[in-house]
Structure 1
Amino acid sequence: MNEVEQLREAMRATEWTGETAVDLDAVMRTGRRIRRRRRLAGAGAAVLALAVAVGVPVGLRSAGPAPSRPAAPAPVPAASADRAAPAPTPAVTTTPGQPGTRPVGTVVRSGIRYDAEERVFYMVPVDVPGAPRVRIGLVAGRRTATGQLVPDYLLNDVTGSDRRPGFHEIGYDEPGAGRPAAPVFGYFVGPAATIVGTVRGRQVVARLARWSGDPQVVIFWFDPKAVPPGVRLDGIVARDGHKRRL
């Protein structure tokens, strides 16, 4: 029996027959009970809807068209194989730890010692592509107690001629290579009697030795106590026996 039929039944139960009056109180009581059931049913539906909404996992989105994403950046094209590479800057050729090459001329002793070893300098033959007039390089090596030569640092030109007048490349070895660092050294072509370097505003006189293979080639090096290995010179000057600058 639905709610309308229940209300009609209540009215029939109390309808006026001419003998008794309609029981209005009974009709009102029945109507109030029906309205209360409707309100409770509506409240229950609201609570159920709230519970479903809270139970949705956080971050879950409703179905629909997916939001557009920004397009991925286009890949940068690789450099073309026929594109000219930048020309390398000429630099000093250094090969620390390179296997020893037979010296050309006399081995120069420096007087700098590392226990049983001594720092020495000597020329070796080199072959520089594109520089046919560069045929020698200067090695800063060590002579062991048994007389073996151990090369530490090779220095040579990479352009021009190895005999052009003046200063050539200067070697700046860096400490911490697992071996004694070579002092600042190099060679000069010409009648140099003295070579003076300036470092940190102070002038330091280099030690000199002429190469036996060519007396115009003057090998020089600085005392590592005066010019620590790796410290750059601020300037360098060569003078002849008459104190004239070369």
Structure 2
Amino acid sequence: MNELDQFREAMRATERPYHDDLDLTVIMRDGRRLRRRRRLASAGAAVLVGGLLAGGIGIGVRWSGPPTPDRPPVPAATVPAPTGRPTDTLPPTPAPTRWQPPRQPLGDVVDSGIRYGSEQRVFYVVAVDLPKVPRVQIGLMAGRRTSGGELTDDILVNDVQGSDRGPGFHQIGYDDSTPSQDRPPVPTFGYFVGPAHRIVGTVDGRQVDARLARWNTDPTVVIFWFSPADLAPGVRLDGIVARDAAGRLL
């Protein structure tokens, strides 16, 4: 006999027998009572099952009392939703940028005459180390100098082949960065090796003269730059030439 049969047998035991002379009123009253008991029994079973389910869900949850100002309510545990992208494809966290001190100038610092508030635009030669190009040992830095003499490096240009003292033009520096408050724009600049007395650039069919300064350590190295009023920083030259004191093309 299963549990259902036992339940039915118990229900029958509570039913009293009727006499031969059946009283319809009594039968209907007893029927209502029997139906009521069965409904109550079914409701009790549902409550019991619901309590068991609730008890199963509540396993491991500890009641710590109502939340108070110094004890906020404990948030329910949540499962993060899938992102649709494997974790190994997430971009790495960028490492912090380490501050680099300005390079030590070789020789004098050249003042361009360009000012940014209290700062000066300056140019200076610095040492470079290219193990695969041993004949390139210097580069030209465009930097800034404060009124206290502190330098800030902005753009460095240097050769990547040949010799840094070969006759003629070497690398030319263009400012390709987006203007920002952190760094003012850098004028186009470079250096020429030889007896140059005039350097002229061409852009959009017009000629623009550069400012010149000789490196005090080696006067054959001529540092040049273009005023931002004559050539906007970042604009590429169509051509550039150097002439000696007699006006001859070098």
TM-score (norm 1): 0.59
Which residue pairs with 1:119 in the alignment? 121
Does residue 180 of the first structure (1) align with residue 193 of the second (2)?
no
> What is the distance in 1 between the residues matched to 2:218 and 2:127?
14
Does residue 198 of the first structure (1) align with residue 198 of the second (2)?
no
Moved runs in structure 1, 4+ residues, more than 6 A?
none
Does residue 225 of the first structure (1) align with residue 229 of the second (2)?
yes
TM-score (norm 2): 0.58
Which residue pairs with 2:164 in the alignment? 162
Q: State which of 172, 187, 193 in structure 2 corresponds to 1:189.
A: 193
Which residue pairs with 1:128 in the alignment? 130
> What is the distance in 2 between the residues matched to 1:208 and 1:98?
29
> What is the distance in 1 between the residues matched to 2:226 and 2:121?
12
How much has 1:145 moved relative to structure 2? 1.8
CA gap of 1:163–1:230, structure 2 versus 1, over 3 A, is: same
Structure 2 alignment gaps of length 5 or more: 1-98
How much has 1:99 moved relative to structure 2? 3.0
CA gap of 1:155–1:98, structure 2 versus 1, over 3 A, is: farther
How much has 1:200 moved relative to structure 2? 1.2
> What is the distance in 2 between the residues matched to 1:159 and 1:102?
23
> What is the distance in 1 between the residues matched to 2:171 and 2:100?
19
* Aligned residue identity for 1:176: P
> What is the distance in 2 between the residues matched to 1:215 and 1:194?
15
Q: Tell me, yes or no, if the aligned pair for 1:197 and 1:236 is still in contact at 8 Å.
A: yes
> What is the distance in 1 between the residues matched to 2:121 and 2:215?
16
Which residue pairs with 2:241 in the alignment? 237
Query: How do 1:15-94 residues align onto structure 2 when only pairs under 5 Å count?
Result: none
Which residue pairs with 1:212 in the alignment? 216
Which residue pairs with 1:26 in the alignment? none
Which residue pairs with 2:108 in the alignment? 106
> What is the distance in 2 between the residues matched to 1:112 and 1:198?
22
> What is the distance in 2 between the residues matched to 1:234 and 1:111?
25
* Aligned residue identity for 2:237: L
